[in-house]
């Protein structure tokens, strides 16, 4: 089961990818999480990625593709994976399609979580993340049991650096220019399903599992 999640930043890809990964017992792979953990550890990769992320830009394809291919070559990916935030450009999608084809396999499902830009800005302003385990909450819509504290590991929740309003607008612009064309790409491969991401998270998840189990 190889699944990719498409959608604007803040559409709910990570929230749904985690639920998919738990239900089907496959790894949830987020290139954004990989970059953030490298930034936290101060690695050269993290330092390079941070320059782009802070400006709301995409990290260059060669670097991003390298870390993604390295991750999906690990043993735990043998039965599939759910990719969250990759691919984000047509060249990234082409490399992924080719690499998977070399193994005699293919990407099975592409899910587009569709949320209009106005709602995105509200969602990202209220997003709070756990810097330790990566869990994501929202101050209005998906609250932790105790305000400001991660339900899963008890760490203090933070506002991501790139969730500031001016960076969010830049990320949305980059999404429309560089990532939205992937919807067409996967639609032509006949594996795309668009779900209404404005519904509550359980309803979105039901629409997704209905597609995965059809």
Which residues would be at the binding site for ligand AMP (CB under 6 A)? 9, 30-32, 35, 52-53, 57-59, 64, 85-88, 92, 162, 171
Annotation marks residue 193 as catalytic: no
The answer to whether the CB of 128 falls within 8 A of the CB of 159 is: yes
Residue 118 binding ligand ADP, by CB under 6 A: no
Task: Assess contact for 116 and 180: CB atoms under 8 A.
Answer: no
Q: Give the per-residue contact string, 72-111, with ligand ADP (x = CB under 6 A; - = no).
A: ------------x---------------------------
Nearer residue to ligand ADP within complex by CB, 12 or 80: 12
Contact 211/194 with Cβ under 8 angstroms? no
d(CA 125, CA 129): 12
Choose from ligand ADP, ligand AMP, none: what does 29 bind? Cβ within 5-8 Å by kind: none
Name the residue with the smallest CB distance to ligand AMP. Answer: 32
115 and 198 Cβ atoms separated by less than 8 Å:
yes
What letter does residue 57 receive in the DSSP assignment? P
Distance CA 103, CA 92 (A): 17
Smallest separation (angstroms) from ligand AMP to the CB of 12: 11
Q: Which does 127 bind (CB under 5 to 8 A by kind): ligand ADP, ligand AMP, none?
A: ligand ADP
Strand partners for 30:
84
Task: Tell me how many residues contact ligand ADP (CB under 6 A).
Answer: 20
């Amino acid at each position: 089961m190889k699944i990719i999640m498409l959608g604007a930043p803040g559409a709910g890809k990570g929230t749904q990818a985690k639920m998919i990964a738990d239900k089907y017992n496959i790894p949830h792979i987020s290139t954004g999480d990989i970059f953030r953990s490298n930034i936290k550890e101060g690695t050269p990769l993290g330092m390079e990625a941070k320059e782009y992320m802070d400006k709301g830009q995409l990290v260059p394809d060669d670097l991003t593709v390298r870390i993604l291919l390295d991750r999906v070559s690990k043993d735990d990916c043998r039965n599939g994976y759910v990719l969250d935030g990759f691919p984000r450009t047509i060249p990234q999608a082409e490399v992924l399609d080719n690499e998977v084809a070399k193994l005699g396999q293919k990407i099975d499902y592409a899910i587009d979580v569709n949320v209009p830009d106005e709602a995105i800005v509200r969602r990202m302003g209220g997003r709070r993340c756990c810097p330790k385990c990566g869990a994501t909450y929202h101050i209005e819509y998906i609250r932790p049991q105790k305000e400001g504290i991660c339900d899963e590991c008890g760490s203090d929740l933070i506002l991501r650096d790139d969730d500031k309003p001016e960076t969010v607008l830049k990320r949305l612009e980059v999404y429309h220019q560089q990532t939205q064309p992937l919807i067409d790409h996967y639609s032509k491969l006949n594996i795309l399903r668009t779900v209404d991401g404005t519904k509550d998270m359980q309803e979105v998840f039901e629409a997704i599992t209905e597609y995965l189990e059809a």
